[in-house]
Structures are given as structure tokens and as C-alpha cells.
Structure 1
Amino acid sequence: MTLAEGIWEQIFVFDNYAELLALVRNSLIAGAALGLVGGLVGVFVIMRDLPFAVHGISELSFAGAAAALLLGVNIVAGSIIGSLIAAGAIGVLGARARDRNSVIGIIMPFGLGLGVLFLALYEGRAANKFGILTGQIVAVDNPQTAWLLGTSAVVLTTLWLIWRPLAFASADPEVAMARGVPMRALSFAFMVVLGLAVALSVQIVGALLVLALVVTPAAAAARITASPVLLPVLSVIFAVASIEGGILLALGSSIPVSPYVTTISFTIYVICRLAGTHRLRRWGTRRTAPAA
């Protein structure tokens, strides 16, 4: 067996696949919920230019999860608390766009440093430490699934309540402000929603690669449509396809789920980018073509 064949068999292992499916039932359920949340939240992340904030929040979410692991309490709860602290800090201290990146740049290393400290103090299984960073597909038990689904329901309900004014404020903030839309309150509410979405995503893909669920699907959808209806629909489809496909591909392998999720997500983005570029070129050619 060549080295390439050995690596390939490590990446894609389908032995006893049917029996293994039962082990990831909770992960598939949670993945569907996270795909829905990440796809919808990601639309506003792209519209409001907040990808950097996602990464900043994920670092404190990682610190919260690591602290929970060290203390022996619910990891999902710890991740959510860390995310909410980061989201609140960014929402309050970085209310103005020019201050936001500085605040995020300060929060990121602080959160990462705390997370590393807590993991260094943790004396349990190394797999638990690694899973917080890169995700685990069989680590979602029934209590965690209940936390994930409950928090997803809170995020989706909040988005449903603020969707229209948030879309207006994101698309045209100056006009929205002139019309009396509560910009500061909406911004803070969305940061809280974003914090919850990031905390949920960390449980599946880990803190390092959360952008693949919260940013990439929406960015891919935005390359092929600007429709306010089709954009969130495609974003959700891409997010769910990425996470569910990643879980199913990683099932028989010892490799973490995150590389599979990120590869699928990136592939979708590349295809959408190429399709969007091709469409623009055709549209431009038609506009510049001489009349018959």
C-alpha cells in the first residue's frame, strides 16, 4: 500500500458504516439545527460586515467551554456564557464601526489565552481538549442536544421577531436611522444572537473553524443571488449540506469532523463564486453587445 492510499483510507473509512450511524443521531439532529441557525445568522454577518466579530466571539466561546470542561460542568453552557460575554463587549465597546475591529482584536488573544490556560490545567482525556478546538461528532449526548435545540429555538425566535427591521438597518443604515429604527438596540440584540449562534457552532466544528458555518454559506449564497428571500434560503441549504455532509463523511474516520465540514463549505463557495462570475460576464456581454 502506498502512502497516498494509506492517507486516503484514513480520511474515508466506510467499514461498519450502518452500525456507526446510530452513534451520531444526536449530532445529525443538532447539525440540522445549527445549519438553520448558522445559515440565517450568516446573512446578517455578511450584510453588516462582521466576519471578524465571529472569530473574536469564537475565541471567548472556546475559553468558556474550556473553563466548563475544567470545572466539570456543562460545556455547552460554558460556551454560551463565553460567547455572550464577547458579544456583549463587542456590542457595547464597539458600537461604532471604527472601534469594532480594535475591540475584537483585544478580545481574541485574551479569550484564546484563557482557553489555553484552562486546557493546560485540565487533567482529563486529551480528546476532550482537542474536541473543543476541532469538534467531535460523537460527543453530543442527550443533555447537550437538548441545550443545542433549546438555544437554537431562542435564536430563531429572536430572528423572526427582529428580521424586518434588522434587514432594513443592515441594508441601508442611514435611511433606517432617519425612519426611527432603533439602531443601537437592534445592533446589540443581533450581537447577542450572533454570540449564541457561534456558541452552538463551536460544539460541532470547534472554535477554530466556526467561520465555515456562520460565514461561508451566506457568502456563497451572496455570490449568486441578491434576493432577500432566496439569499437566506440558499444560505441555510449550504450550511446544512456542509455540516450534515461533514458528519457523514467523518463518521468512520478518526479525523475530526471540522476538515470535512470546512472542505464542503469551501467547495460550495468556490462553485458559487465561479457561477456568479460567469453570470456577471454573460450579463456584461449582453449589455455591451451592439444592437442588431
Structure 2
Amino acid sequence: MNDDWWSRVFNFQDYGQLLGLVQNSLIAAAVLGIVGGVIGVFVMQRDMAFAVHGVSEMSFAGAAGALLFGVGVVSGALVGAVVAALAIGLLGARARDRNSAIGVLMPFGLGLGILFLALFDGRASSKFGLLTGQIISVDGPDLGRLIAICLVALVVLVAIWRPLMFDSLDPDVAEARGVPGRALSLLFMLALGLVVSVAVQIVGALLVLALLVTPAAAALRVSASPVLAPLLSAAFGVAAAVGGILLALGGSLPISPYITTISFLTYLACRVIGSGRDRSARLAV
């Protein structure tokens, strides 16, 4: 019984042959890890982890609707995520209003997605994959679209990087200096929606936080540098996404437990390092 359980988690027979089946997924995961890690730093600085979950639920609803009506799942996830992101950006000028909007969107998106999946008569694995991720879910055309979506999100981030960083770290002073906070918020939410729609394809709607929040939270535990923190977050995101797929390939479980475990262990390690460094700094004083 124990051997059977272990073989479901890790089983590397014929691993080399299986590896060729997930090349597209590995590339997509690496791109997502980089872009998700970078945007995740702003998510943490702007205290918007809850927003990631809200957007992912609507992205799930869009993907489930696309599955039901025979449209491209990537397109459906993209539409759902962008609609949710823009709605949150428009309705949520203040944190309280934003959280209220997200609290309304989350159950609506989840319920709508479940309805679409209940009406869908196709494979059960397709339904399950939207929630927890699929190891072979990215074909050639999908890979091109996913990379294009991530590049658009990255271009938006680069274009607004400096004012967005200012507005994220000190919104009151930024507003006093004439920084257009609402416009930045809308553009940031648009970029976030694009990245979330890609993440749903890889890790599933329920665990998007593992790639868009946890790597950034880990990076910010060991560095507050505006340059080093995004780089570390991107590295942690790539390690979790690509490492999760490589480990999942050897078992019969969904990708998400592997990705979330790597992300969580990375966060714990960074937390220990950060706590130790803070303790040393206090003792030195």
C-alpha cells in the first residue's frame, strides 16, 4: 500500500520519453514564472493578494464557459480575467471598496464556472484541470498565445514601472506629486488579469496564488531592493513552476501539489533567512 502510494507521487520510469511530451508546458511555465514573479512584487506592495484570487475565479468562469461552448480555453480565461481585473480597478479606488468588489466577484465567478462545468459533457480531466492544472495542457498554438499574453503584460509593467513603484510604496505622496493613481491602477490590473489568465492554464484557478503571490512574498522576506526583489521573485517562480512540472511528470497527481509545495518551502526558507538576518541586525545594534 505504501509502495503504491509512493509510486503515485514519484515514479520516474520512462521519464525521458515522457519529458518530450511537456516541452511546451515547461516553456510556458518558465515564462509564467518570470512574469508572475515580477508582477507579484507589485501585488504584495499594493496589498492585492486577495485581488489575484478574485481575478482567477472569473478567469476560471471564462475558461469553463469556453470549454462548454467549444471556444478556445485560453481566450475564455483571458476574457474572464480581463473583465474581472478592469471591474476591480474601476470599482476599487480604495482598499475597502476594492475588497468588497472582489468579495462579490469571487463567489459569482466560482459559481458560474461550476455551472458551466456541470453542463459540459466532455472529459472529466478537462474539468478538473481548470481547477488544479494539467501537465499536458499547452499545445503549439496555445504556447504562442500564452507567450504573447505574458509579453504584453510585461511591456505594460515596464512602461509604468517607475510611477507604479512610487504609487505602490507611498500612494499618498505619489498622489500629491501628481502621479495618476487610478490610471496606474487600471493598467496594473489589466497586466495582472493577463498574467492570471495564463496561470490558470498551468496551475489551475484554485492555486494561482502559488505563482503570483508566494514567490514574491518569499523574495520580499530577504530583500527590499526594487531591483533584487523582482529578480528573486522571478527566479522563485520559475523554480516552482518548472520544478513542479518536472516532479509531476514522474507521478499520477495534478501539477498543483508539487508547485505549491516548492513555493511554500521556498517561502519558509526565505522567512528563516530573513528572521535570522533581522535578529543579527538587532544584536549588532
Give the TM-score normalised by the residue count of structure 2: 0.99
Q: Amino acid of the residue matched to residue 196 of structure 2? A: V
User: Secondary structure of the residue that 2:205 maps to in structure 1?
Assistant: coil
Match of 1:170 among 168, 171, 180: 168
- Which aligned runs of 4 or more in structure 1 are off by greater than 4 angstroms? none
| Aligned residue in 2 for 1:273 | 271
User: Secondary structure of the residue that 2:192 maps to in structure 1?
Assistant: helix
**CA-CA distance at 1:98 after TM superposition:** 1.5
Query: In 2, Cα distance between the equivalents of 1:5 and 1:229?
Result: 46
| Aligned residue in 2 for 1:190 | 188
Q: Amino acid of the residue matched to residue 142 of structure 1? A: G
| Aligned residue in 1 for 2:13 | 15
Q: Amino acid of the residue matched to residue 122 of structure 1? A: F
| Aligned residue in 2 for 1:122 | 120
Match of 2:48 among 41, 47, 50: 50
Cα deviations by residue, 1:217-258 (Å, 9 ceiling, x for unpaired): 000000011111110000000000000000000013221001
Bigger Cα Rg: 1
The answer to whether the aligner puts 1:39 opposite 2:42 as a matched pair is no
Q: Amino acid of the residue matched to residue 153 of structure 1? A: L
Query: In 1, Cα distance between the equivalents of 2:131 and 2:153?
Result: 23
Q: Amino acid of the residue matched to residue 136 of structure 2? A: V
Query: In 2, Cα distance between the equivalents of 1:285 and 1:69?
Result: 58
**CA-CA distance at 1:214 after TM superposition:** 0.2
| Aligned residue in 2 for 1:225 | 223
The answer to whether the aligner puts 1:262 opposite 2:260 as a matched pair is yes
Query: In 1, Cα distance between the equivalents of 2:61 and 2:163?
Result: 33
The answer to whether the aligner puts 1:149 opposite 2:147 as a matched pair is yes
Q: Amino acid of the residue matched to residue 236 of structure 1? A: A
Give unpaired runs (5+ residues) of structure 1.
288-292
The answer to whether the aligner puts 1:201 opposite 2:199 as a matched pair is yes
Q: Amino acid of the residue matched to residue 181 of structure 1? A: V
Cα deviations by residue, 1:166-221 (Å, 9 ceiling, x for unpaired): 00110111111111111110011101111111111010000000000000000000
User: Secondary structure of the residue that 1:208 maps to in structure 2?
Assistant: helix
Query: In 2, Cα distance between the equivalents of 1:53 and 1:4?
Result: 40
| Aligned residue in 2 for 1:104 | 102
**CA-CA distance at 1:73 after TM superposition:** 1.1
| Aligned residue in 2 for 1:290 | none
User: Secondary structure of the residue that 1:284 maps to in structure 2?
Assistant: helix
User: Secondary structure of the residue that 1:226 maps to in structure 2?
Assistant: coil
Cα deviations by residue, 1:54-112 (Å, 9 ceiling, x for unpaired): 00000000000000000111101100100011111111111111211111111000000
Match of 2:78 among 66, 77, 80: 80
Size of the alignment, in residue pairs?
285
Query: In 1, Cα distance between the equivalents of 2:184 and 2:221?
Result: 26
Q: Amino acid of the residue matched to residue 251 of structure 1? A: L
Query: In 2, Cα distance between the equivalents of 1:191 and 1:157?
Result: 14
Q: Amino acid of the residue matched to residue 108 of structure 1? A: M
Percent of matched pairs sharing the same residue: 61
Cα deviations by residue, 1:127-184 (Å, 9 ceiling, x for unpaired): 0000000001112111111110110110111111011110011011111111111111
Give unpaired runs (5+ residues) of structure 2.
none
| Aligned residue in 2 for 1:234 | 232
Query: In 2, Cα distance between the equivalents of 1:139 and 1:185?
Result: 35
The answer to whether the aligner puts 1:285 opposite 2:283 as a matched pair is yes
**CA-CA distance at 1:4 after TM superposition:** 2.7
| Aligned residue in 1 for 2:177 | 179
Query: In 1, Cα distance between the equivalents of 2:96 and 2:103?
Result: 12
Query: In 2, Cα distance between the equivalents of 1:63 and 1:177?
Result: 35
Query: In 1, Cα distance between the equivalents of 2:64 and 2:103?
Result: 20
